[in-house]
A and B are shown apart, each in its own frame.
Chain A
Amino acid sequence: MSQVLYDVPGPRAIARHRLYAVVGGLVVLGIVGAAGWKLWSEGAISGNKWSFFEEPQIVEALLEGLLVTIEAAALAIGLAVVFGAVFAVGRLSDHALIRWPSTVVVQFFRATPVLLLILFFFFAYASRLGAFGALVLALTLYNGSVLAEIFRAGLLAVPRGQSEAAYAIGMRKTQVTTLVLAPQAVRSMLPAIISQCVVALKDTALGYVIGSGEIVYEAKQIFRSPVYNNPIPVAITLAAVFIVINYSLSKLAQSLERRLARRGERVIQTEQIESGMGTGTPL
Chain B
Amino acid sequence: MDLLPQIGEMLPRILDGFLVTLKLTILSLLLSTVVGAVLASMRVSPVAPFRAFGTSYVNVFRNTPLVVMFIFVVEGLPQLGVRPRFTTLGLGYFEMYAIIALSTYTAAFVCEAIRSGVNTVATGQAEAARAVGLTFGQTLTHVILPQAFRAVVPPLVSVYIACTKNSAIAAAFGVLEATGQLSSLIEDFPGSVYLAFFLLAAGYMVLVFVLAGLSSLVERRWAVSR
Contacts and interface: CB of A to CB of B under 8 A. Distances in A.
Q: Do A and B come from one complex?
A: yes
A223 B166 CA distance: 24
A235 B212 contact: no
9 contacts: A1-B44, A2-B51, A5-B139, A6-B136, A108-B205, A205-B66, A216-B65, A283-B106, A283-B159
Contacts of B154: 271, 274-275
B175 interface: no
B165 interface: yes
A226 B156 CA distance: 42
Contacts of A24: 47, 49-50
Given A235-B69, A278-B161, 5 more contacts: A4-B44, A123-B186, A216-B68, A239-B64, A277-B209
Smallest CB-CB A-B distances: 3 pairs: A231-B75, A205-B65, A113-B168
Contacts of B167: 113
Interface string A118-136: 0110011000000000000
Chain A contact residues: over half helix, strand or loop, or mixed? Answer: helix
A4 B68 contact: no
Nearest to B117: A271
Interface residues of A, number: 65
A21 B53 CA distance: 12
A205 B193 CA distance: 23
Given A28-B50, A208-B67, A216-B68, A239 B179 contact: no
Contacts of A203: 65
A113 B158 contact: no
B99 interface: no
Interface of B: 44-53, 59-60, 62-69, 71-72, 75-76, 79-81, 106, 109, 113, 116, 118-119, 121, 123, 125-126, 130, 136, 139-140, 144, 154-155, 157-159, 161-163, 165-169, 171-172, 178-179, 182-183, 186, 193-194, 197, 200-201, 204-205, 208-209, 212, 215-216
A44 interface: yes
Contact of A5 (B50, B126, B157, B169): B126
Contact of A111 (B64, B106, B205): B205
A163 to B, nearest CB: 27
A115 B69 CA distance: 15
Nearest to B115: A1
Contacts, number: 207
A4 B123 contact: yes
A123 B183 contact: yes
A3 B44 CA distance: 9
Interface stretch (A53-61, A78-86, A92-100, A241-249): A241-249
Contact of A250 (B63, B158, B194): B63
Contacts of B116: 271
Interface in A2-27: 2-7, 9, 13, 17, 20-21, 24-25
B136 A113 contact: no
A1 B122 CA distance: 10
A81 B63 CA distance: 22
A21 B47 contact: yes
B80 A281 contact: no
A227 interface: no
A21 B48 contact: yes
A124 B67 contact: no
A76 interface: no
Given A232-B76, A271-B116, A283-B159, A9 B208 contact: no
Contacts of B71: 208, 216, 219-220, 223, 231, 234-235, 238
B136 to A, nearest CB: 6
